[in-house]
Chain A
Amino acid sequence: MSVFKRIYKFIASMRFAIALLVVLAVACSVGSLVTQGQSYDWYAQRYSERTAALILALGLDDAFHSAWFIAITGFLCLNLTLCNLTRLPRLIRLAKAEGRPEGALKDPGDVSAANIADPRAVFARLRMPAPIACQTEDGREALFASKHRAGLWGAWVCHLGILLLILGFGLGQMTQEQYAVYGVPGDVKPIGDTGRMLQIDDFTVGLRDDDTVEQYTAKITVYDMNADGAPSQSAEIRVNQPATLFGMKFYQNSTGWAGKVNIAKDGEPLQEAVICAGEYLPVADKPELVVVLNAFYPDYRFVPGEGPSTASGQLNHPAWLYSVYYQGQVLGMNALMADEELTIDEYTVTFTDPQSYTLISVKRDRFTPLALVGGLVTMLGLLLAFYVQPARAWAIRQDDGGWTVHGRCRKGGAIWREDFERAAGTASNEE
């Protein structure tokens, strides 16, 4: 056998498949046990410097996108492809032969029963279709029935489904576009570099009587600035109810608090802007002075040892947590109540109009349907493999006028043999 053939045989082999499955399981476990996407310092602090260096060297900080993980998956795909290609001609031959009596009549079968007077009754008890009449090579009268040949294709279909799934996922990862847009009602913001604008028309947080969130609902309009006249499409999106506009999918992803920052200079209004928690606002005539809105607490409370938090979602005792920077250095950080103002030299800062902002995820993944088809095909394959058991039964007339009934079920094992013996035994008893 040539080296090429030997390599081909090994890669297509079940032994290689099992080894890959075990390696993949270990790789996934490691990827889930090591916190992903952290820095060297983070790992060094958590484990040790040596371990941190090892984690980064092996790519364990981004295990599921590392070269070795992709290589394992690639080998699995190769194994599945070659396995399916190798088995296809054999499966076609087998599926054809399974439905024909010629081969069966020479086969002793997995199990057989002699001296059966009414073989059709045995066939019926085995839930076989009505048998066809045929003859053995030496001219004996015979009956033959087969069922569930589709079950032969189970593993093959399952492998195909897994291949489609991996292919759809991989292509999706490589080509998908993903953006995040956040803002408050009235904001119009670009969706990355797509040439489209997202307008947030409305955003509401539906609360239950017990103050828990029932649903987040955003009304949005998307403008296609690439087309003449900037056509628009609108939709209402909720958690679990995304919308597709201009071929992109919009998801209500998250929310947080925003507020209006009013800055006055020497008592005269200077600027006003709505910013979300986590955003900053440089002072208009002194950009090196920056106001940051760190957080908003609608029902502020401060517990020593725990820090600031909110007692409820209601605006009972609103407070703004801010920080101020000058030339990149922190000047101060504190909580500001609703009726308080912050004075920095000639500037006065107040926060008003607390409102919820929405974070909308925008995604385009053309290969999601392929992955979905892969998942469904995998399920179909497993159904065929486990619950559609190909079986054959045949009966040959003996010289004494009785029949010998034989059966074969490729996946039934001991249980099928028991079923067969019960069917044949009952048939005998009845006679």
Chain B
Amino acid sequence: MLQIENTLFTIVMLLYFAAMLLYFAFIAVKKDGVAKVAIGLQAAGLALHTAALICRGIGAGRLPLTNQYEFATSFAWGLCLVSLIFVLRFKFPVLGAFASPVTFLIIGYAAMQSKEVRSLMPALRSNWLGFHVSTAIIAYGAFGVSFVLGVIFLLRDRMRNSGFLDQHIPNREKLDVIAYRSVSLGLLFLTFTIVTGAIWAERAWGSYWSWDPKETWSLVTWIIYAAYLHLRLRRGWQGRAAAIFAVVGFACVIFTYIGVNTFLPGVHSYA
């Protein structure tokens, strides 16, 4: 089963890469048909990615959410899923062109991690693991999309107006609302992550909050996005300023995920 997962993982990487190239080609040649193929490849990659994760779960005999490789590939899956939903919901293939390199980078990071299946330590043998980590994957995926939307917003100001842009990139007001939607999805799921993590920590360690670096940086991320939501309500802070905040927020997400594990080890050192 793990061999199948390995093969599927390689195919998924190729599909994501091909989708990314096609999204770029769509912007270059300005043909809607190219975008449709890119979306189709992304959807196919996502389906096979789901199958790969299922194979990994069956092969490992547990949820594939417990080490750096498993979380990285799941993070890429979450970003791909949320970006695809936003691309389809808002008929916004340009979003795919900006999100697919981020997805590819994250799955590339996963490919560099050890794929060894290790037995779970007792603290990780909990039903809360599934709720805690799967909600984090959706949260991170949504924040990834808000980051991409922030970048598009900031770049839009520098782009020359053209029929293609007007047709395929929503106006600033709508971009801001779409970014708000992705941040709100991310914040809701990050709250689920923090609350389920706290419940689990209470059962495992007897303390639902112990200022572990991962907990603390999840809280910092939560606060940054909470500030973003409040700022958006103030006059003059919508649009550009909010877009900058969305980019900074995702930097926090990445630090919480990779930076904390690298520089600030704590009880989440296995993640």
User: Which residues of chain A are within 8 angstroms of B119 by Cβ–Cβ distance?
Assistant: 208, 210, 212, 214
Give the residues in chain A near B206, CB-CB below 8 Å. Answer: 178, 242, 249, 251, 253, 361, 363
Kindly list chain B residues whose C-beta atoms are within 8 Å of the C-beta of A29: 216-217, 220
Cα A32 to Cα B16 with chains together (Å): 36
Stretch at the interface among B64-72, B73-81, B101-109, B187-195: B187-195
16 contacts between A and B (CB under 8 A): A21-B226, A22-B223, A28-B216, A28-B219, A32-B213, A32-B216, A169-B209, A208-B119, A210-B119, A372-B208, A375-B194, A382-B184, A382-B188, A386-B188, A414-B171, A415-B177
Render A127-169 as a binary contact track against B, CB cut-off 8 A, 1 for contact.
0000000000000000000000000000000000000000001
Q: Does A239 contact B (CB under 8 A)?
A: yes
Q: Give every chain A residue within 8 A of B184 (Cβ-Cβ).
A: 382, 385-386
Task: Using known A-B contacts A378-B195, A414-B173, determine if residue A240 contacts B126 with beta carbons closer than 8 Å.
Answer: yes
With A31-B211, A413-B173, A414-B171 in contact, is A379–B223 under 8 Å at CB?
no
Which chain B residues border A418 with CB–CB below 8 Å? 174
B198, B203, B217: the one within 8 Å of A241 (CB): B203
Instruction: Write the nearest CB–CB distance from B67 to chain A, whole angstroms.
Output: 14
- Whether, in the assembled complex, A197 has its beta carbon less than 8 Å from a beta carbon of chain B, the answer is no
Interface string of A204-238 (1 = CB under 8 A from B): 00001010111110000000000000000000001
User: Does B205 interact with chain A (Cβ within 8 Å)?
Assistant: yes
A288 to B231, CA, bound (A): 67
CB distance from B166 to the nearest CB of A (A): 15
| Cβ-based interface call for A64 (8 A) | yes
Residue numbers of B with Cβ under 8 A of A are 90, 118-119, 121-123, 125-126, 170-171, 173-174, 176-178, 180-181, 184-185, 187-188, 191-192, 194-195, 198-200, 202-209, 211, 213, 216-217, 219-220, 223-224, 226-227, 230-231, 233-234, 260, 264
Q: How far is the CB of A366 from chain B (nearest CB, A)?
A: 14
Closest to B198 in A: A375
CB pair B121–A213 under 8 Å, yes or no, is yes
In the bound complex, do residue B173 and residue A21 qualify as a contact, i.e. CB atoms below 8 Å apart? Answer: no
Kindly identify which residue among B171, B188, B194, B264 contacts A33, using a CB–CB cutoff of 8 Å. Answer: B264
Cα distance, A24 to B216, chains bound together (Å): 11
Rounded to whole angstroms, the CA-CA distance of A363 and B207 in the bound complex is: 9
Query: Is B122's CB under 8 angstroms from A216's CB?
Result: yes
Tally A-B pairs: CB < 8 A.
126
Task: Name the residue among A28, A169, A387 with the largest chain B CB count within 10 angstroms.
Answer: A28
How many angstroms from the CA of A382 to the CA of B126 in the assembled complex?
A: 26
Q: How far is the CB of A281 from chain B (nearest CB, A)?
A: 30
Indicate whether A240 sits within 8 Å of B125 (C-beta atoms), given known contacts A21-B227, A415-B178: yes
Q: B188 — which chain A residues lie within 8 A by C-beta?
A: 379, 382-383, 386-387
Q: Which chain A residue lies CB-closest to B123? A: A239
Task: Choose one: B90, B126, B185, B220; the contact of A28 (CB below 8 Å).
Answer: B220
Chain A, Cβ-Cβ closest to B231: A18
B217 close to A32 (CB less than 8 A): yes
| Contact A25-B122, Cβ < 8 Å, known A14-B233, A17-B230 | no
A-B pairs with the 7 shortest C-beta distances? A239-B122, A386-B184, A375-B195, A414-B174, A251-B206, A32-B216, A413-B177
**Contacts A32-B211, A379-B191 given; does A238 touch B122 at CB 8 Å:** yes
Q: Are B234 and A14 in contact (CB under 8 A)?
A: yes
- The complex places the Cα of A385 from the Cα of B219 at a distance, in Å, of 20
Q: Is the beta-carbon distance between A18 and B227 smaller than 8 angstroms? A: yes
Say what secondary structure dominates the interface of chain A.
helix
Chain A interface size, under 10 / 10 to 19 / 20 to 34 / 35 or more: 35 or more
Q: How distant is A225 from chain B, measured CB to nearest CB, in Å?
A: 23
Separation of A370 and B171 alpha carbons in the complex (Å)? 45
A404 located at the interface, meaning its Cβ lies under 8 Å from any Cβ of chain B in the complex? no
Residue of B nearest to A15 (CB): B234
A262 within 8 A of B: no
Residue of B191, B217, B234, B260 with most chain A CB atoms under a 10 A cut-off: B191
Bound state CA distance, A205 and B200, in angstroms? 22
Please name all residues of chain A whose beta carbon is closer than 8 Å to the beta carbon of B223 when the two chains form the complex: 21-22, 24-25, 28
User: Are A240 and B174 within 8 A (Cβ)?
Assistant: no
**Closest chain B CB from A391 CB (angstroms):** 15
Asked if A240 and B203 make an inter-chain contact with CB atoms under 8 angstroms apart, the answer reads yes
Binary CB contact string for chain A from 44 to 75 against chain B (1 if under 8 A, 0 otherwise) = 00000000000000000000100000000000
Q: Please name all residues of chain B whose beta carbon is closer than 8 Å to the beta carbon of A178 when the two chains form the complex.
A: 206
A412-B177, A414-B174 known; 19 new pairs, CB 8 Å cut-off, are: A14-B234, A18-B234, A21-B226, A28-B223, A32-B211, A32-B260, A213-B122, A239-B122, A239-B123, A239-B125, A240-B126, A240-B203, A240-B204, A251-B206, A375-B198, A375-B199, A386-B184, A386-B187, A418-B174
A242-B203, A413-B177 are contacts. A215–B230 as well, Cβ < 8 Å? Answer: no
For residue A112, give the distance in angstroms from its CB to the closest CB of chain B.
18
User: For the complex, what is the distance from the CA of A391 to the CA of B109, rounded to whole Å?
Assistant: 44
Complex-state Cα separation, A385 to B118, whole angstroms? 41
A343 partner residues in chain B, CB cutoff 8 A: none
Specify which of B227, B234, B264 lies most central, judged by the most chain A CB atoms within 10 Å of its CB: B227
Whose C-beta in chain A lies nearest to the C-beta of B222? Answer: A25
Query: Quick check: B195 and A379 within 8 Å, CB to CB?
Result: yes
**Least distance between B95 CB and chain A CB atoms (Å):** 14
Q: 8 Å CB contacts to B: which residues of A167-200?
A: 169, 178
- Whether B174 pairs with A415 at a CB distance below 8 angstroms is yes
Q: Tell me if A36 counts as interface (CB < 8 A to partner B).
A: yes
Q: How far is the CA of A24 from the CA of B208 in the complex (A)?
A: 20
Expressed in whole angstroms, the Cα–Cα distance for A215 and B173 within the complex equals: 54
- Quick one: which of B123, B200, B209, B264 has the most chain A CB within 10 A? B209
CB B167 to nearest CB in A, in angstroms, measures 15
Nearest CB of B to A254, in Å = 10
Question: Which residue, B184, B207, B260, has most C-beta atoms of chain A within 10 A?
Answer: B207
Q: Which chain A residues numbered 236 to 273 have a C-beta less than 8 Å away from chain B?
A: 238-242, 249, 251, 253
